């Protein structure tokens, strides 16, 4: 996307987003996704307005009902008067480069609700179940006045642990009959979950999956004041158990706030965001060096034995 027009300034877009205009929110997120030249200005305008939204990550293996559960959570949160944002990260289309699945297909029930903003984002090859621009998109929804932002990950299985670094509360969905109780015991899955939900509880094996999870969680070494992740049963298609999940998420947020863990998690999140943006800047500078004479000179020096690759790389970095 090209830089925003002079007719619509960044300040105008941010104010329109604060006023609940979905087109302004959409345009700001598009600027983020396309890494617009105006992105620095957008970030500066958003920063004083963020820090209020409770970010809830929703993850789990394909087929556990993440989209249905997300929609059910939106319904429950809206019934409680909360303004909700949804970032649904989808696989990338090999043809258009966009999100392979559409938010309007999956969450039609909320399409006309002006208290809900839903955005599909393509992962664009980024690993860990998220999009590389998800942190900045979260800032847009936070600044736009969302009380809760739900981030639904791609659904790639055990590698999908990056959400724990982005969310205040991570909700891990499982389902009976998929071996999820055993999979959860493997490294990575148990560590990221703040609330565990066995969805499709109307199916056989839901109670045994719940018992397995509780048993494994009970063996974890936790301090006396540590949060104890609950294991809840839901049937997202009917809404059964969803209110209990909303309550558990709210309880976890209060625990984070009271213990100081919320500040610590957000500090770590911001640090990672800064690191990622710095690496992206360095990477973009390297991309312009392919035909640079300095790189050719350093390469020749290495070939001639006058230098070595590590020293040449250090010299190159110094001159970026």
Question: How do residues 282-315 score in pLDDT, each as one tens digit?
Answer: 887 777 776 678 888 999 999 999 999 999 988 8
Q: pLDDT at position 109, please? A: 73
Higher pLDDT, residue 282 or 76: 76
Question: What single-letter DSSP state applies at residue 48?
Answer: G
- How would residue 274 be classed by pLDDT, with cut points 50, 70 and 90? confident
Q: Which residues contact 181 (CB under 8 A, 6 or more apart)?
A: 174, 208, 209, 212, 213, 216
Q: pTM value?
A: 0.83
Question: Residue 289 is encoded by which pair of tokens?
Answer: 């060096």
- How would residue 179 be classed by pLDDT, with cut points 50, 70 and 90? low
Average pLDDT over residues 154-168: 67
Average pLDDT over residues 30-34: 85
Each residue's pLDDT tens digit, 46-72 = 889 999 999 999 988 888 888 899 999
Q: pLDDT at position 122, please? A: 63
Question: What single-letter DSSP state applies at residue 86?
Answer: E
Q: Count the Cβ atoms, other than its own, within 10 Å of residue 295.
A: 14
Half-sphere exposure in the Cβ direction for 132 (13 Å, CA):
14
272/115 Cα distance (integer angstroms): 30
8/3 Cα distance (integer angstroms): 10
User: Does residue 123 surpass a pLDDT of 60?
Assistant: no
User: ∠65-67-72 over CA atoms, to 5°?
Assistant: 90
87 φψ region: left (φ > 0), alpha (ψ -120 to 50), beta (else): beta
- Tracing tokens 């999100």 back to the chain, one arrives at 99
Percent of the chain having pLDDT more than 70? Answer: 80
Radius of gyration of the CA atoms of the chain, in A: 22
Q: pLDDT at position 192, please? A: 83
């Amino acid at each position: 996307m090209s830089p925003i027009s002079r007719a619509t300034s960044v300040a105008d877009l941010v104010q329109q987003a604060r006023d609940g205009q979905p087109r302004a929110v959409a345009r700001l997120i598009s600027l983020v996704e396309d890494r617009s030249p105006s992105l620095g200005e957008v970030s500066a305008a958003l920063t004083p307005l963020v820090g209020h939204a409770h970010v809830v990550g929703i993850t789990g293996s394909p087929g556990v009902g993440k989209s249905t559960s997300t929609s059910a959570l939106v319904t429950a949160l809206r019934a409680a008067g909360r303004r909700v944002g949804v970032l649904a990260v989808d696989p990338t289309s090999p043809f258009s480069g966009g999100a392979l699945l559409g938010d309007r297909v999956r969450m039609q029930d909320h399409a006309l609700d002006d208290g809900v903003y839903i955005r599909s984002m393509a992962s664009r090859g980024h690993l860990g179940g998220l999009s590389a621009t998800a942190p900045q998109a979260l800032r847009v929804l936070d600044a736009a006045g969302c009380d809760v932002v739900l981030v639904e990950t791609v659904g790639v299985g055990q590698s999908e642990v990056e959400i724990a670094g982005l969310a205040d509360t991570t909700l891990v969905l499982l389902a009976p009959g998929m071996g999820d109780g055993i999979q959860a015991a493997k490294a990575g899955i148990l560590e990221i979950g703040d609330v565990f939900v066995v969805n499709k509880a109307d199916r056989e094996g839901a109670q045994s999956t719940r018992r397995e999870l509780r048993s494994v969680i009970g063996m974890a070494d936790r301090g006396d004041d540590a949060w104890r992740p609950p294991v809840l049963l839901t049937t997202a298609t009917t809404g059964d158990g969803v209110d209990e999940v909303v309550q558990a998420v709210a309880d976890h947020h209060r625990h984070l706030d009271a213990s100081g863990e919320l500040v610590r998690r957000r500090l770590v999140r911001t640090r990672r965001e800064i690191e990622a943006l710095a690496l992206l800047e360095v990477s973009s500078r390297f991309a312009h060096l392919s035909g640079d004479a300095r790189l050719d000179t350093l390469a020749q020096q290495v070939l001639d034995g006058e230098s070595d690759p590590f020293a040449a790389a250090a010299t190159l970095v110094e001159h970026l």
